[in-house]
Amino acid sequence: MSTTSDAFTSLKINVLTVSDTRDEHSDTSGKKLVELLTEAGHICREKKIIKDDIYHIRAVVAQWIFDADVQVILITGGTGFSGRDSTPEAVSPLFAKEIPGFGELFRSVSFDKIGSSTIQSRALAGLANNTVIFCVPGSTGACVTAWEKIIASQLDSRHKPCNFVGQLK
């Protein structure tokens, strides 16, 4: 995990919280993602909370993929197996390319914190219209783990040997 002295590229990122129970007051996960990406030097263009509905999720994400000013989408929530969790089903058909290593690595690094319960995470990522999309569980701890262990470095133009910045619009 080496870096070079290349200039940092600030990215435009949208954050989507998928939840049937959270609102602006109780959305600690979405707020944490905004805090983390801002501290890293990126710009939060928009933050939304929507109900866990496959077609609503897909419509919002498709609109953001189409927006030339959105380079990254971070989605928290809806990745489990319970109730109406439908983020993977909503988002994966939009991917031009899936990033299978993200879900695998997320479950691996989560194992140290939550043990075998990590198998119930359906975290995933992909590229769509030169927009990278990361879908992580709805807990604040999971968002922090995903950001600190994986996402932050992959959105840092200085991270070598590779990162996603060169792939984005």
Burial of 2 (0-12, 13-18, 19+ CB in 10 A): exposed
Task: Write down the pLDDT at residue 4.
Answer: 46
pTM of the full structure: 0.95
pLDDT tens digits for range 10-53 = 999 999 999 999 999 999 999 999 999 999 999 999 999 999 99
Specify if 42 maps to a domain. Answer: yes
Specify if 154 maps to a domain. Answer: yes
DSSP H or E segment with residue 97? strand 97-98
Specify if 87 maps to a domain. Answer: yes
pLDDT tens digits for range 96-145 = 999 999 999 999 999 999 999 999 999 999 999 999 999 999 999 999 99
Q: Are 163 and 102 in contact (CB under 8 A)?
A: no
Domains held by the chain: number: 1
Q: What is the CATH number of the domain that holds 137?
A: 3.40.980.10
Give the torsion sign (CA, 64, 69, 71, 75). Answer: negative
Specify if 3 maps to a domain. Answer: no
Measured in whole angstroms, the distance separating CA 166 from the mean position of its chain's CA atoms is 18
Q: Are 75 and 135 in contact (CB under 8 A)?
A: yes
* Section 82-107 average pLDDT: 96
Q: Which domain holds residue 118?
A: 8-167
